[in-house]
Structure formats: C-alpha cells, structure tokens
Structure 1
C-alpha cells in the first residue's frame, strides 16, 4: 500500500482516510490482512499507537475487523459506513490528561470521602469482581468508581474536568479501544487489582498511598494502550 505522511487535522483520522481510500480503490481485497502496525507506522512516519487509533476508527466504521494478537482485516464494503468517527480528543490524549489529574483527585478523596461514597465504592468493586469472574468488563462500573473519587475530591473545578474527560471516553473509538484491552484476561485481572488497591488506599485515609495507587493504575492502562497487539 502506498500511503503519504500527513499533518494537521486529527492524525489518526487522516491515516484512516488514506487507508479507507486504498480499500475503496480495491488495493486490499475483503478478507485480506492489512500491513502490520509497524509497517504502516514506518510508511507514514507516525507512531504505532496512532496507527492503532486509525485502525479502530476504521473498525467502528465497519471497514476492517481488528483481531487483537493477529492484525486488521478488510471487511466486505456492504457492512461499511462512509463516515469515520472523529473525536475532539483521541484515546491517548484523554489518557495523558487523566494521568495528570486523577492521582491528585484520589489523594483529595481520601481526605473527604463520605460514608455514602464509601458504600458506593464497595458496591462498585463487588460488581467489578462479579463482572471479571464472568470474563467481562464494564465501562459503566469503571466510570462509577473513578467518578465517585472525583465527586469526593472537594474541588468543583477538578471534578468538572474529570467529568468532561469521562464524557469524552464515551466516543465510539475510545469505547472500542478500551474494549479491545478488556478482552485480554490478564489486562482485566490487573485493572481489577489496581482498583482494589486504589479503594483500599482511599479508605485508609492515606493521601500519598491513594495518589500512588491511582498513578500506577493509569500508568499500567497507558502502557497497555501502547503495547503491540499483533
């Protein structure tokens, strides 16, 4: 596939546009595998995670099927939409800002969490354990846990910023990105253990331990988003 390096506009959408044009031109037939993330990244002069965002956008549009651990395969065009899902922020951008803000929110929550908040965290963890035992992961449970801490941080502006970040995560590309991660059992287990550690630290009232537990969790999630899927 001959692709051109891109600039301006959301990078992952520009890449997705080019790959879509190649697919529509018949250069890659339905059922065939696209070049690897590494090869696409080298051709475009961009990072592999950015290529991954582009492939997931194409998957949401119905143009490709992403198989974690294998690669991306072209689907039949009758299942595809012409419109690519574009967001104000990419999944990687959202995660980068969360890593700046959420550790401090967790530290503040450890000093301000109400009895109602404690009960909500306990119930959310119970639900997460049950979901994980069934091989599932729930974006709703994930958001509930993190936003319970944001609600308890005692800073209205910080809470509003975190709410905006989590609203941004409801986009189709971000949702699919995280679902691919959650389909990996080891990742689900690690995320559950991280959430257990965060809640334990917050309930202990230890601000530094809460900050550290949240930072470790988000660092793991960020690294998982960057790791090779092929």
Structure 2
C-alpha cells in the first residue's frame, strides 16, 4: 500500500525589495543614532552605503514616508520623524513604481509596435482622442491621468488582442500609493509637457504604421518617466 505523501506547507512569498531596503534604513537610523528631525544622508551616499540602486532606495524611502518613519521634503532631503524611534512594519502595497515601469518598458514597447501593424482608422482615432483629452485636461490632474490611462489602453486595443488590453489595465492598476506619493514629490511640469510630446510621437508612428518608430517612441517615453522619478 502506497504511503500518501504529507502535504507541503506553502512557502511564504519573498518580501518586496522596497520593504527589505526600508528595514535596512530603519536599522541604519537606529545603529547610527540619527535623532528625530535630523536629515538622512543624501540619496547617492545612502544608496552606496546600503549597496542598492537609487530607484530601490527611493521606493523604500517613499514606503517609509507612508509609514510615518521619515518625511521627504522636496529640494531639501529626507528627515527622520518622531515615529522612527519605534520600528515600523512597512506595509505590503503591491509592486514598487520602478518595478511597474520596468514591466511596462518591456511590454508596452512591443504593444506599440503591434498596434502600428494592426491599427484600423477607428483605432487611431481613439488614440488621437485620448491625446486631445490629455491636452484639454492639462491642468486637471485627475482628468489628465484618466486620459493618460485611456491613451495606453487605446494603443492596446489597437493591437486587436484583448489579452493585451487586460495586461495594460492590470499594470495601470498597480499604480498604488507608492506611485502616487513618488509622483507627488518628483513629477515635474517639464515631464507633463514632454509626456504630451511623447504621446504625439507614439500616435504619429502608429498612424503611419511604422512599428519600429512606435516601439522606439514608447521606449523613449517610459525611459523619460523612469529617469525623472529616479534622479536627484
């Protein structure tokens, strides 16, 4: 008689990198005795000390800000809050913003190329309408962001592949509290203006059915967003 194997316990998922880095920052604050109200070392120095990328460090700092451990002051630096004396359990809030951007660079560049090959006239019109809506709502952040979402979804629909529409919808829904906090601190007016220029370039390539140009334009756009959010 065969022995029934005992069920294996499900392994716990690995913590996201920003949570690991956030814990290390809290440990550094304690080990170095950095008091509340003091400024942390500059991001470049801190990233080197922890042997992590600037992007990973910035995600961790934003997570710690959401947890009340630090305060990010634009143009001034990152400061230790009163709550830093008690270690905070950084919450799981989904993938980090740079994780999402990395996935989008990989996926949306090919979606743009596929859209350029397959887009019908009505699909191009839908992309154009999203661009025009972004331009009309430039000063209305909420409506502008919705039009931005519609732009990327319209490109996915132009491929004729509904699975890809679902992928873009999923990726957009990962833009949670970390993303919005990061954007609030580091998005610039130049980025908002350049986004419109980028979208026009993507639209033009798709309308011309130039897959290579569409791929390059989408990559350039997403790389610009990544650079803006990661540089100091």
CA distance in 1, matches of 2:209, 2:87: 50
SS at match of 1:213: helix
Residue in structure 2 matching 1:158, options 155, 160, 164 = 164
Computing the radius of gyration from Cα coordinates, the structure with the larger value is: 2
CA distance in 2, matches of 1:128, 1:30: 42
Residue in structure 2 matching 1:140, options 132, 138, 146 = 146
Superposition pairs for residues 1-230 of structure 1, below 5 Å?
Answer: 9-20=15-26, 27-77=33-83, 82-132=88-138, 134=139, 136=141, 138-169=144-175, 171-182=176-187, 184-227=188-231, 229=232
CA distance in 2, matches of 1:174, 1:113: 30
Post-superposition Cα deviations, 1:95-118, rounded to whole Å, max 9, x if no partner, equal 122111111111222233345544
Deviates more, 1:89-98 or 1:63-72: 63-72
Question: In 2, are the aligned partners of 1:85 and 1:172 still within 8 Å (CA)?
Answer: no
Question: In 1, are the aligned partners of 2:36 and 2:81 still within 8 Å (CA)?
Answer: yes
TM-score scaled to structure 1, two decimals? Answer: 0.79
Structure 1: give runs of 5+ residues left out of the alignment: 1-7
Deviates more, 1:137-146 or 1:102-111: 137-146
Post-superposition Cα deviations, 1:164-213, rounded to whole Å, max 9, x if no partner, equal 222222x211222233332x122222222111111122223322221221
Q: How much does 1:215 deviate?
A: 1.6
Pair 1:159–1:124, CA change in 2 (3 A): closer
Deviates more, 1:26-35 or 1:150-159: 26-35
Q: How much does 1:148 deviate?
A: 1.1
Taking only aligned residues, the RMSD between alpha carbons, in angstroms, comes to 3.0
CA distance in 2, matches of 1:23, 1:45: 16
